[in-house]
């Protein structure tokens, strides 16, 4: 009788262990399938480098009679949503890509229906250099009908840091951007903090979000204060309940959480 009893105890202990927090090492499978609203694309940075990404084009973009230019929205993922070799599945769990498969990024702003060209380039570690960001914009302007006065950047965590790194690299880069919405920026390099003045000089409308339990909360608030020191009211800081990673509600394209939502907010501005 002892052997079956011991086996039962062992099984019960295993179940208890799983419930008490033993890591589940079962591989997770994420969806990397395109949909009618989003497609996989390749961005050519230069003759030697290419990046994969998700793309959404406006409703009538390829109709043959639509010749208008559209605002460009670029989203940067964080450290844990990227991967190598063109696997875009993890990107669909966070931010803009999470909603692309089921939502057309079309909004009515000031009485006018407006749509974006939406691009989500892949970064395997969440970091994209200022040069690469500039190459991405150059490629999109060359390949698509982009309204160059309405280029918008948004991203999370290290992706948000890449946005700030781009705008503080040199004044010409900042001059290309109409508005940015970074989420929970990882600490910006000290030497670039002083260059936040480039954002003010270029009148880049800035809306920074950060959770009130985020370890980077004070730093994110300080970036807004510095920008506004150069040009009062240009930057807005919005806190929400949560820690690092609680940003998907902000990217929801409905008005369930924010009205106007961040897309409508950006569409107000041009450079």
With both helix axes pointing from N to C terminus, report the angle between 158-167 and 130-143 in degrees, rounded to the nearest 10. 80
Please give the pLDDT value at position 103: 87
Please give the pLDDT value at position 9: 40
- The token duo for 138 is 């150059």
Backbone phi, psi, residue 148, to 5°: -70, -10
Please give the pLDDT value at position 29: 59
Please give the pLDDT value at position 22: 53
C-alpha dist (Å) from residue 24 to 52, 220, 245? 30, 34, 21
What are the residue ranges spanned by the domains of the chain?
30-267
Please give the pLDDT value at position 17: 40
CATH of the structural domain 30-267, one choice from 3.40.50.800, 3.40.30.10, 3.40.50.1820, 3.10.20.600: 3.40.50.1820
Please give the pLDDT value at position 85: 62
Please give the pLDDT value at position 3: 47
Please give the pLDDT value at position 65: 92
Task: Give tens-digit pLDDT for 55-96.
Answer: 999 999 999 999 999 999 999 998 777 766 667 888 888 899
**Beta-bridge partner residues of 205:** 179
Regions of the chain where pLDDT drops below 50: 1-20
What predicted TM-score, i.e. pTM, was given to this entire model? 0.87
Round to whole Å and give the CA distance between 88 and 77: 11
Please give the pLDDT value at position 14: 36
């Amino acid at each position: 009788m002892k052997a079956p009893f011991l086996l039962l105890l062992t099984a019960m202990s295993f179940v208890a262990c799983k419930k008490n927090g033993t890591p589940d090492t079962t591989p997770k499978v994420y969806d990397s399938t395109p949909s009618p609203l989003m497609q996989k694309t390749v961005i050519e940075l230069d003759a030697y480098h290419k990046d994969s990404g998700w793309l959404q084009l406006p409703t009538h973009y390829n109709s043959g009679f639509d010749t208008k230019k559209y605002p460009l929205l670029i989203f940067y993922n964080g450290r844990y949503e990227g991967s190598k070799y063109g696997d875009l599945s993890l990107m669909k769990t966070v931010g803009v890509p999470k909603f692309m498969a089921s939502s057309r990024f079309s909004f009515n702003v000031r009485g006018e229906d407006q749509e974006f060209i939406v691009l989500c380039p892949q970064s395997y570690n969440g970091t994209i250099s200022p040069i690469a960001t500039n190459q991405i914009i150059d490629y999109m302007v060359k390949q698509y009908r982009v309204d160059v006065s309405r280029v918008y950047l948004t991203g999370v965590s290290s992706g948000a840091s890449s946005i700030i790194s781009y705008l503080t690299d040199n004044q010409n880069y900042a001059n290309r951007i109409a508005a940015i919405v970074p989420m929970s920026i990882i600490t910006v390099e000290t030497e670039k903090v002083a260059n936040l003045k480039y954002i003010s000089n270029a009148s880049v409308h800035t809306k920074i979000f950060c959770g009130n339990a985020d370890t980077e909360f004070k730093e994110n608030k300080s970036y807004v204060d510095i920008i506004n020191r150069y040009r009062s009211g240009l930057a807005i800081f919005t806190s929400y309940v949560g820690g690092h990673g609680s940003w998907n509600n902000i990217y929801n394209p409905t008005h369930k959480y924010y009205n106007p939502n961040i897309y409508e907010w950006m569409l107000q501005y041009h450079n």
